[in-house]
A and B are shown apart, each in its own frame.
Chain A
């Protein structure tokens, strides 16, 4: 599955945004409207996903791209026979916008970076809704959460053929575009 989300409809969750900017809920965020507009203009939000059977092994799970040894993931997926693998990105123009801001204003850079992370989460929520339809799913679980290693990113992205939506990986397993998210989501019976 592959799809796109109109970035203009995305709204970052309030709590999410304030947490990223390290400010208390309700506190005013300077330049918010302006930077949000710049961000939505830059964002080209896409996702790809695949529904896979879960092979339960003694020491982990196999989702089609090798054994994953992670107690936290196993717990998250417990009771599920299938899962969705998801990758979402805001696109490379957001990276360029952030790079531009980093030369112009560290305040705007910091605020926009937080805003972009929150927007990526919102995009993931929107993609999730499109992907699961009427199915009931477990909360998303991403590489880097708990004991789920970031090193699986390569195999996951390759399996999803996330290059179709422009996601690449650096040698240090960092996704580019930077505002990209991968996740595993168990399907409840």
Chain B
């Protein structure tokens, strides 16, 4: 009903709840939802006052209710729904929006609320809302894109009701956690909500620019529920600065800029809504035009396909990368994060994430990698797996609208992938192959693309969300392959498809491959290629991209080319200083230590480099630290330089010759401090220990399982807060129970020798050097 209605006419929400209830006697500081049970007549009166003012949609008084905050949440929700139903009884054109706000907690990994727990908290409310007869769900005042996604998923999974979402933006036009309006549109349209918009925090005048931004991005009805201006304090009380008439005047402008569903938030009352309706209900009504943009998004911004060729960094894909394979086997997330950050710094717009290795649990690894990457890197991700179950997991927990790699023309592939896109949103790479393989002609590949687009339409997925990859194959085995692929790019573009290629495949089997594939890249861009999955650390590829943009008027005043060329130039002249290895380590010079190790390895055995150069230098700085002649920052820099040297040595060292001495580290459950643990890690690594770092906030079960799996007999635990020491004690207890031969060392600000003994730790490490000494002794 509401879905149909908003196609044809402007609807009105009610206004503020808390501020009005306070005028009715609610104590400041006590929650409005407490009145559902204690003062239902007042809640009904509030709803009726708004309906009398002319609004169509009332919000239930349920904003702050959830299972976490109130044991009797169900009773409270029932009471609130009863009030709303009583208020709309006998009125036509009056609808109940079940209202839900943020949980007040931040999601993992920056906060401590697991994504699925957030979904479950919302799901409990949504289920009741549907049972009790709400007309729609309003998810409002959301200041985090990730939590917004959790709430929308819960609504989709528990109800068939229309879903309206409004976010709260600050004066800089962003959510508290970073998303701009365009990013929210990408996420929410992908999830398939019915209407989206803004509420709270700002007055209508400050929202005008945001409404324009939304209108430029979305084809959905835009909701605008502002405050009565900005709050200010008068005589110790918060008051709002904009009166009903001024409010209505500003809302008129908002309606003209595309606001479809209008109402108010904090500080507004029925007078504001009445004035708003008088002022706007005769204005012509139109939904925003449907937009033909192809976008993917991250927690901050959206990336649009089409204007310039986009670079998709391919370095997080184990194919042909032994170091990444090793990192995946070890569960080394730090390595993956670093590859992501380095590619972002190198200038890609999207990161491919593929963690598929036959011997690991890809689903679990994918989830961990996506969670870690999206917390620290603001680029949209391309989720890449041949296993739909892995994609499903990754798409669910992704904080934005992802790019998905991939679907192909086989019915089985489309039937697995398209329902996921329908549920979670996303743009999809469509490979032009099917059961009979890759067509030999460009026309054949276009035909498959059309077939995929047709099938996608059955799932409601528009053509614009498909990016077609006509597949580059080795030119060394088929002399026509490059020409066919280039022609396919041209045909596809002509047919209205965007395109992508794994560019480097073209040079497979040839020497000096870069020369071939960077030139192929240019040829493909000439034909209109939109995305390239590529290696941003390849200078030839980056040269091709920057030059192409400069030559095709895609780089105003050649600015980015000039910046790129300037940065690329000095690298050749400022080669690392030549110093000897111990000196480089003592001085904490990373690049120099790496170069010096390479030089030393020409003259010495790998083990000699370790024992005669690296370890003595580390011991020297360690001793200086213990004598307070050197300080922690220097010690850490030396350790990092030693690690860089170790990396070089390891490549020369036969695998069997490495010590195999390992230490497992973790910050215990509930604690998200990781500085101390990281310091211990880098010091242990610099002494040649293999460190399995499980990260922070790690449950006892995970630690036990990892220790057993890796057969690691020395575990280091860190806790920085007294509140998390019990988690440390519990971890030790479980480790003991699982394997009595495991030894545990502990450290952290709140621990002492006595405290460590009390929780049955084997060793107490006062500092990082102490931890190294314990590990050395253990393996003697």
**Chain A interface (Cβ within 8 Å of chain B)?**
1-2, 21-24, 27, 29-30, 44, 51, 64-65, 92-93, 95-96, 99-100, 102-107, 109-111, 113, 150, 159, 163-164, 166, 168-174, 176-178
Contacts and interface: CB of A to CB of B under 8 A. Distances in A.
Given A64-B29, A93-B178, A96-B110, A106 B636 contact: yes
Contacts of A2: 231
Contact of A106 (B29, B111, B678): B678
Contact of B632 (A21, A150, A164, A177): A21
23 contacts: A1-B233, A22-B632, A23-B633, A27-B631, A92-B106, A99-B376, A100-B341, A100-B376, A102-B674, A102-B675, A103-B337, A109-B675, A110-B678, A159-B29, A163-B102, A164-B201, A168-B111, A169-B105, A170-B106, A170-B111, A170-B670, A172-B671, A174-B112
Contact of B637 (A21, A22, A107, A159): A107
B633 A21 contact: yes
A106 B633 contact: no
Contacts of B387: none
A65 B27 CA distance: 12
Contacts of B231: 2
A6 B334 CA distance: 32
Contacts of B109: 99
B105 A107 contact: no
B735 to A, nearest CB: 21
Given A168-B106, A172-B112, A102 B631 contact: no
A14 B385 CA distance: 50
Nearest to A32: B633
Which of A22, A65, A168, A169 lies at the interface centre, i.e. has the most chain B CB atoms within 10 A of its CB? Answer: A168
B675 A29 contact: no
A52 B133 CA distance: 43
Contacts of A163: 102, 104, 143
A171 B233 contact: no
A11 B376 CA distance: 25
Given A104-B338, A106-B636, A110-B636, 7 more contacts: A100-B337, A102-B675, A106-B682, A113-B675, A163-B104, A170-B112, A178-B672
Contacts of A1: 233
Nearest to A21: B633
A100 B377 contact: yes
B375 A96 contact: yes
A107 B630 CA distance: 14
A172 B588 contact: no
Nearest to B638: A107
A169 B236 CA distance: 26
Contacts of A109: 675, 678
Nearest to A96: B376
Interface in B704-749: 721, 723-724
Contacts of B375: 96, 99
A163 B682 CA distance: 36
Given A29-B633, A92-B176, A168 B721 contact: no
Nearest to B337: A103
Contacts of B201: 164
Contacts of A27: 631
A111 B143 CA distance: 30
Contacts of A176: 106, 110-112, 672
B469 interface: no
A95 B110 contact: yes
Nearest to B141: A163
A113 B636 CA distance: 14
A103 B376 contact: yes
Contacts of A166: 143, 176-177
A103 B376 CA distance: 10
B279 to A, nearest CB: 29
Nearest to A99: B376
A21 to B, nearest CB: 6
Interface in B373-401: 375-377
Nearest to B377: A100
A103 B334 contact: yes
A172 B724 contact: yes
B47 interface: no
B22 to A, nearest CB: 13
A30 B634 contact: yes
Contacts of A100: 337, 341, 376-377
Nearest to A30: B633
Contacts of B531: none
B640 interface: yes
Contact of B110 (A64, A65, A99, A104): A99
B723 A172 contact: yes
Interface string B158-191: 0000000000000010001110000000000000
B241 to A, nearest CB: 14
Closest 9 CB pairs of A and B: A107-B636, A103-B337, A170-B112, A100-B376, A166-B176, A23-B631, A106-B682, A168-B106, A106-B678
Contacts of B637: 30, 107
A51 B233 CA distance: 10
B215 interface: no
A66 to B, nearest CB: 11
Contacts of B438: none
A110 B106 contact: no
B545 to A, nearest CB: 25
Contacts of A104: 337-338, 341
